[in-house]
Amino acid sequence: MRYCQFNPDIVPLAQHTFVEQLLNCKDFTKSDRLLGSSKGRGTTWFINTTAELGINSVLRHYYRGGIFGKLVKDRYFFTHNENTRAVQEFNLLGQLVQWGLPVPRPIACQITRQFFCYQADILLEKIANTQDLSQYLQKNQLTKLQYAEIGRLIRQLHDHQVHHSDLNIHNILIDNQGKFWLIDFDKCKIQIGCSWKQKNLDRLHRSFLKEQTRLGILFNEQDWQMLLDGYAK
């Protein structure tokens, strides 16, 4: 049994079948639509969909991590469509877009059920001409004002009670106009309270320090303080 959810602002009814075909394609290696790909737990595909949707797309299949993921790589226990990872990410991104936050727009998602389990895929807007901070900072430095801007962006998330559970420099993009974007909202949620917010910042700080050692990114503690100053304002 298959369930699809579409963003009507991007996907007109006439393009539903086209988008469903994209969601069901598992390998774009030989497709002339392929713009590129990235490897993680699985392959994320960057797809040329400008002619049909007016934007290019990112297609991601949901995979488990950790030890359990070695046994059951991409199946999850099903209770309701609204509780699936794909629909939750789709809906959260839609809310963030309404709030005016710089995140990719959700295009569509798909849930495929079999007995009591499901598999899931999501199609997102590809933000043009971007690098993640781990790439950018290997060759470029950010200004103090830019670090403050990142801090303000995270503060916006937190003011809306959005907990980005994997806040790291790989999930912050910078485009060729210098604008910052946040990506990868899988397993993220709107969460009450404030105790998690400092831990969220600490996770990002560790990410900067890790890549300073591993990749030699251009970063120092004064940069981090500027980010915190931006967050505090």
Please answer whether residues 123 and 19 qualify as being in contact, where contact means their C-beta atoms are separated by less than 8 angstroms.
yes
Task: Convert 181-202 to b/e letters by CB count within 10 Å (16 or more is b).
Answer: bbbbbbebeeeeeeeebeebbe
Q: Which of 47, 55, 66 is closest to 10 using CA atoms?
A: 55
What are 204's two structure tokens?
């990002």
9 is catalytic: no
| Dihedral over alpha carbons 57, 77, 69, 27 (to 10 degrees) | -30
d(CA 83, CA 196): 22
From the candidates 74, 166, 175, 186, give the one annotated as an active-site residue.
166
Residues catalogued as catalytic: 166
